[in-house]
């Protein structure tokens, strides 16, 4: 896809130095930051919430695009706090809400872009009815909860189907994406690329980010 964007996930970074880690990613050419919010209920892990997000812009001395990946059971609850904290996109899981339409509307009213995520077990038909109302679809390529898991290649038909049906939709992949798997994502039509451990564990994040973007944009 042309104009692929790379959004490092800071989940597996040195979280006690979150500001420095975010800056390291931005200095290495990241297009946006993918921030993983986990509540210990929707997924078996806990990370951080809006107070941490709110502290970031001052620390960074800039306002990067924050894509909030909300792995939480009650996504309705955090729309306003995240908007106030400076989030730019609110990506919630379709599995976590009974009224996606109302949530989409609320996110827009609070001035954020709308991302809609599905776990590996969900079909793409489940997401399709909402595709015309959202800015981005997130096709998870691992079970959400932890970084460093193996990429699920069998999710690629979902990406491909969405790309065919909704040519202008942003499509994000998240989980196990790195230099070894980016080709599959690019071929299927993803244009927003989340990558955590592949970037974080590299001594040279800039070249990994460049490589991912170049392969994806081919």
* Residue positions annotated with a catalytic role: 36, 174
Strands 113-118 and 5-8: unpaired
Interface with ligand DX5, residue 36, by CB under 6 A: yes
Residue nearest to ligand DX5 according to CB distances in the complex: 196
Q: Is 174 in the site for Zn ion (CB under 5 A)?
A: yes
Question: Is the Cβ–Cβ distance between 171 and 136 less than 8 Å?
Answer: yes
Rounded to whole angstroms, the Cα distance separating 142 from 76 reads 24
Q: What distance lies between CA 204 and its chain's CA centroid? A: 22
Query: Are 88 and 112 contacting, i.e. CB atoms less than 8 angstroms apart?
Result: yes
**87 and 69 in contact (C-beta within 8 Å)?**
no
Is the Cβ of residue 175 or residue 205 nearer to ligand DX5 in the bound state?
175
Judged by CB under 6 A, which stretch of 17-25, 99-107, 191-199, 202-210 contacts ligand DX5? Answer: 191-199
Residue 69 engages Zn ion in binding (rule: CB under 5 A):
yes
**Minimum CB distance to ligand DX5, residue 116 (Å):** 14
Q: Pick between residue 104 and residue 140 the one whose CB is nearest to ligand DX5.
A: 140
Query: Do residues 31 and 58 make contact, with C-beta atoms less than 8 angstroms apart?
Result: no
Rounded to 5 degrees, φ, ψ at 58 are -65, -45
Q: What string marks each residue from 82 to 121 as x (binds ligand DX5 by CB under 6 A) or -?
A: ----------------------------------------
Tell me: is residue 115 an annotated ligand-binding position. Answer: no
DSSP state of 53: H
Distance CA 50, CA 5 (A): 24
Q: Distance of alpha carbon 95 from its chain centroid, rounded? A: 16
Q: Which of 5, 24, 69, 119 touches ligand DX5 by CB under 6 A?
A: 69
Name the residue whose CB lies closest to Zn ion: 69
Contacting positions for Zn ion (CB under 5 A): 36, 69, 174
Binding-site residues for a divalent metal cation, please?
Answer: 34, 36, 69, 174
The site for ligand DX5 (CB under 6 A) is made up of 9, 11-12, 34, 36, 69, 142, 144-149, 174-177, 194-198
């Amino acid at each position: 896809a042309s104009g692929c964007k790379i959004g490092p996930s800071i989940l597996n970074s040195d979280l006690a130095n979150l500001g420095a880690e975010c800056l390291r990613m931005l200095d290495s050419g990241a297009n946006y930051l993918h921030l993983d919010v986990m509540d210990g209920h929707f997924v078996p892990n806990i990370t951080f919430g809006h107070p941490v997000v709110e502290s970031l812009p001052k620390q960074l001395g800039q306002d990067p695009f924050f894509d909030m990946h909300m792995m939480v059971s009650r996504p309705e609850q955090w729309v306003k706090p995240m908007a106030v904290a400076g989030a730019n996109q609110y990506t919630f899981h379709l599995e976590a809400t009974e009224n996606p339409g109302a949530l989409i509307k609320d996110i827009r009213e609070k001035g954020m872009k709308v991302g809609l995520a599905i776990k590996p077990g969900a079909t793409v038909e489940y997401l399709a009815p909402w595709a015309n109302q959202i800015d981005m679809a997130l096709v998870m390529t691992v079970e959400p909860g932890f970084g460093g898991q193996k990429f699920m290649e069998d999710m690629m038909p979902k990406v491909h189907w969405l790309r065919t049906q909704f040519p202008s939709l942003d499509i994000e992949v998240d989980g196990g994406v790195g230099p070894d798997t980016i080709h599959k994502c690019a071929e299927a039509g993803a244009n927003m690329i989340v990558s955590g451990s592949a970037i974080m564990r590299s001594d040279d994040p800039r070249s990994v980010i460049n490589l991912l973007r170049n392969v994806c944009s081919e």
